[in-house]
């Protein structure tokens, strides 16, 4: 258990405890989904609405803990395990942040859900950039195209390049917090653009290899 793992467990436990504490204050039917422009359009009963995010957090933490164990290329995780555990902590904090935004909104406090989404996803994407720029070839974490998986050289070049692209995309996503009416555009376009370009880039680097 390193510091990142200890903090991850602490955040997870704190979110569960917060859900238990505020449960009596929640309405019987909670708003749990918002439309493209921040309008409420999905509801759940109080129990599911409050505890689904902490439960999902626990599942995700368990999955990320299992991946380095079941990956055939598990030895490569040693080169970036610190950054990997850091990312899991940031992902857990992101989920806790969304839990807080939803809970506060249902308590009647003025929370802009779309601005919160842009802020949270922007920060998460920045730490995603830090993670992928240090990854070594594996089957679960990173840009896994046929071309990156077939060559350590293509993997490394693609992920170094993607780290820079993802950082730039994270800044654009963060800007959406200041324009909540257009936040979904600030989120979707950089995500799709970064994913599409890094896939193409991996193919172009593969074509440069000697036959």
DSSP characters for the chain? --HHHHHHHHHHHHHHHHHHHHGGGS-SEEEEEE-TTS-EEEEEEHHHHHHHHHHHHHHHHHHHHHHHHH-TTGGGGGGTHHHHHHHHHHHHHHHHHHHHHHHHHHTT----HHHHHHHHHHHHHHHHHHHHTT--S-SSSS---HHHHT-HHHHHHHHHHHHHHHHHHHHHHHHGGG-GGGHHHHHHHHHHHHHHHHHHHHHHHHHTS--
φ, ψ at 138 (rounded to 5°): -155, 175
Once rounded to an integer, what is the mean pLDDT over residues 135-164?
96
pLDDT surpasses 80 at 211: no
Per-residue pLDDT tens for 152-164? 999 999 999 999 9
pLDDT, position 209: 93
pLDDT, position 81: 95
Once rounded to an integer, what is the mean pLDDT over residues 97-120?
91
pTM of the model: 0.92
Radius of gyration of the chain (CA): 19
| Secondary-structure breakdown of the chain: helix, strand, coil percentages, each rounded to the nearest 5 | 75, 5, 20
Structure confidence at residue 189 as a pLDDT band (50, 70, 90): very high
Percent of the chain with pLDDT strictly greater than 70:
100
Per-residue pLDDT tens for 39-93? 788 888 899 989 999 999 999 999 999 999 999 999 999 999 999 999 999 999 9
Q: What is the DSSP letter of 26?
A: S
Once rounded to an integer, what is the mean pLDDT over residues 132-158?
96
pLDDT, position 42: 82
Structure confidence at residue 181 as a pLDDT band (50, 70, 90): confident
pLDDT, position 113: 87
pLDDT, position 146: 96
């Amino acid at each position: 258990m390193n510091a990142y793992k200890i903090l991850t467990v602490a955040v997870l436990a704190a979110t569960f405890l917060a859900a238990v504490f505020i449960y009596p204050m929640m309405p019987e039917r909670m708003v749990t989904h918002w439309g493209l422009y921040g309008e409420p359009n999905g509801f759940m009963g109080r129990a599911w609405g409050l505890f689904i995010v902490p439960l999902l957090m626990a599942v995700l933490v368990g999955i990320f803990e299992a991946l380095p164990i079941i990956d055939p290329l598990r030895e490569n995780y040693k080169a970036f395990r610190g950054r990997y555990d850091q990312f899991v902590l940031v992902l857990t904090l992101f989920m806790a942040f969304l839990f807080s935004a939803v809970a506060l909104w249902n308590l009647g406090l003025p929370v802009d859900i779309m601005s919160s989404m842009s802020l949270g996803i922007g920060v998460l994407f920045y730490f995603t950039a830090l993670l992928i720029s240090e990854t070594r070839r594996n089957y679960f974490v990173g840009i896994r195209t046929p071309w990156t998986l077939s060559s350590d050289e293509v993997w490394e070049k693609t992920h170094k390049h993607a780290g820079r692209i993802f950082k730039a995309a994270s800044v654009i996503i963060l800007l959406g917090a200041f324009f909540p009416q257009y936040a979904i555009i600030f989120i979707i376009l950089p995500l799709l653009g970064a994913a599409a370009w890094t896939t193409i880039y991996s193919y172009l680097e593969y074509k440069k290899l000697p036959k």
